[in-house]
Amino acid sequence: MFTSIFFYFLASIAIASAIFVVLNRNAVYSAIALVLCFFSLAVIYLLLEAYVIAVLEVFIYAGAIMVLFLFVIMLLNLGLEDAFPYFRHLQRALSLFMVGLFFVGIFLIMFNEQGILHQPGEKFSAGDIYALGEALFSKYLLPFEVASLLLLVALIGTVYLAKRKI
């Protein structure tokens, strides 16, 4: 019961922060709002029993991709100047909030042991790392290898494009 209400709570945070991303004029605030959106999505993934994806969402999206965004925004100095003093308080409050969200999600799953889509009596095992790893290295081996090749070349391309000297 509480799990379901928590889902709707997270959904409204995700929607609200997504609207904030699109409407805000300051790119730094947009980026922070997007991190919040990704965090609430990560907790929703926990409730959907996709644990690996939930962790990857935080690692890759909130961690790597958004840091890259913020890095570029600040490198090009696109944020409004006066944004930064507020930004520090916002950051602290937001990070506490997000960590809180994540822990509530983990506790719910730990004590309930079933997600929001879980039918009573159903057995579900596709969300853990064993199932995902097995699929990646058998059924989807080729896409996995091609993705690694792509990452290599994307790295080369990025270095070439962003380097000042040719």
Amino acid at 37: C
Least distance (Å) between residue 150 CB and another protein? 5
Q: Which is nearer to another protein, 84 or 144 (CB)?
A: 144
Q: Which is nearer to another protein, 96 or 134 (CB)?
A: 134
Least distance (Å) between residue 93 CB and another protein? 21
Least distance (Å) between residue 89 CB and another protein? 22
Amino acid at 161: L
Q: Which is nearer to another protein, 95 or 112 (CB)?
A: 112
Least distance (Å) between residue 55 CB and another protein? 11
